Structure 1
Amino acid sequence: MSRFRSIWQASVNATKKALTWNVDDWIPPAEKHIFNFNAKEELKRWHLYSDSEYGGLSSASLEISDDKDGLKGVFSGNLSLDFTEDSKWNIKRSGFCGMRSKKFDGFIDLDAYDTIAMRLRGDGRCYISTIYTENWINSPGQQEDNSWQAFVFVPNDSWYIAEIPLARYLPTWRGNVIDAQLEMNPARIVGMSISVNAEGGIPGSRTGPGDFRIQLDWIKALRTESNT
């Protein structure tokens, strides 16, 4: 009977605890930090890519440097539309650079959030925010992560918080929008990236080959008031 009584008492205690839980314990915080560019260790979480991998001549760098209000990330470089004539790749376009996070340890779950926010200071160019999710919509045998992209215009030389609803991210395949009705699975995000192209973007943004430079403070996920 003593064993039965101890099990019964444990059940009663668990029930009492459940009844005293605050409803706030079930609600995720209003924001979730994903990246903070306030330490040099952050550089280990990213790698760079550009058209130079395929014979292009663009270049990029990522560093953590001092700003008047603390350390910030700096993604900068040069966009070139040229490419080497002896490239083994049949390159059709150049003029792009990007910084992509290394894969998360497993994945991050942003199902409770509806917006990606970034604190940036840029150069008037239009950048591209990409979210990578686990592969679940591609054809059999295709191992690449699914990618979802949205434009981010960053005003010239002033800090700016860009808020991008997850609903604005479109499914893409190698930079091209997929013409299909697909939905992102925000519970299975495996990585993110920020990139820039010499051409394209939103009207009024700076375009063309040449230098680019963007400062990054942080990237967060938000649960906006309209969804609380």
Structure 2
Amino acid sequence: MKTALSCVYLFTMISSLIIFDFNADSDLSNWNVVNDGVMGGLSQSDFEINNEGNAIFKGTVSLENNGGFSSVRYRFETKKVKGFTKVLIRLKGDEKKYQFRVKTNSSDRYSYIAHFKTTGDWQTVEVSLSEMYPAFRGRKLDLANYPTETMQEIAFLIGNKKAEQFRLEIDKIELK
């Protein structure tokens, strides 16, 4: 009986892979804000932990100086993701549209992208890995969708072609 329980426990552990589970003691040193200032824009954003232990990505997107986006990215050691089919993100947004981005290699210039809209309430966003398409600077590339082999970076981006304030509260990001 103990062996059967061990197998169930092992399967449960393997069927889910936590990318990040935020709490009051979370180390955000590998999370970096990247705004349109890299291209001359004036958007501003912050990434911090709130009193409830959730990450808060908030700021203002500006269209001035050819700007228009804010993002936060998390780089990590290579994770083998073969066999996983989706990302589940527990978050609370502001009824705006965001992008979830993945890179197989953090040095790649392009990302694999999925769009999602927040409801204003706590929700679990489900992103199908096989439907994430490659893009660079807002342009879809003529390459295959995300190969679901390895992962070295994830990111959240807001860039809705309008000046706006935003706030995204993130609790947990995991692969299933």
- TM-score range for the pair, normalised by the shorter chain length: 0.7 to 0.9
Q: CA deviation at 1:145?
A: 4.9
Amino acid at match of 2:171: D
1:215 — aligned with what?
Answer: 169
| 1:43 aligned residue (10, 28, 33) | 28
SS at match of 2:42: coil
Q: CA deviation at 1:191?
A: 0.8
Matches within 5 A, 1:90-101: 93-101=66-74
Q: CA deviation at 1:79?
A: 0.7
1:17 — aligned with what?
Answer: none
Amino acid at match of 2:124: I
| 1:58 aligned residue (25, 43, 51) | 43
**1:115 touches 1:166 (CA, 8 Å); kept in 2?**
yes
Amino acid at match of 2:108: E
SS at match of 1:53: helix
**1:36 touches 1:42 (CA, 8 Å); kept in 2?**
no
Amino acid at match of 1:109: K
How many angstroms apart in 1 are the aligned matches of 2:34 and 2:25?
19
Q: What TM-score do you get using the length of structure 2 for normalisation?
A: 0.87
**1:61 touches 1:77 (CA, 8 Å); kept in 2?**
yes
How many angstroms apart in 2 are the aligned matches of 1:43 and 1:26?
29
Q: CA deviation at 1:110?
A: 1.2
**2:90 touches 2:125 (CA, 8 Å); kept in 1?**
yes
| Greater strand share, structure number | 2
2:126 — aligned with what?
Answer: 163
Residue deviations 1:24-63, cap 9 Å, x none? 5884633211111213433112000111122111000001
* CA RMSD in angstroms, aligned pairs only: 2.2
Matched, 1:128 2:99: yes
Residue deviations 1:134-187, cap 9 Å, x none? 38xxxxxxx53542000011112x10100011122001123211134x142322
Gaps of 5+ in 1: 1-19, 84-92, 136-142, 200-207, 223-228
Q: What TM-score do you get using the length of structure 1 for normalisation?
A: 0.69
Between the aligned residues of both structures, percent identity stands at 24
- Paired positions, count: 171
SS at match of 1:167: helix
**1:129 touches 1:150 (CA, 8 Å); kept in 2?**
yes
SS at match of 1:43: coil
Residue deviations 1:2-36, cap 9 Å, x none? xxxxxxxxxxxxxxxxxx9x865884633211111
2:142 — aligned with what?
Answer: 179
Q: 4+ residue stretches of structure 1 with deviation over 6 A?
A: none
How many angstroms apart in 1 are the aligned matches of 2:167 and 2:58?
4
Rg larger in structure:
1
How many angstroms apart in 2 are the aligned matches of 1:194 and 1:53?
16
How many angstroms apart in 2 are the aligned matches of 1:37 and 1:26?
23
**1:76 touches 1:211 (CA, 8 Å); kept in 2?**
yes
| 1:188 aligned residue (150, 157, 170) | 150
Gaps of 5+ in 2: none
Amino acid at match of 1:213: R
**2:131 touches 2:145 (CA, 8 Å); kept in 1?**
no
SS at match of 1:123: coil
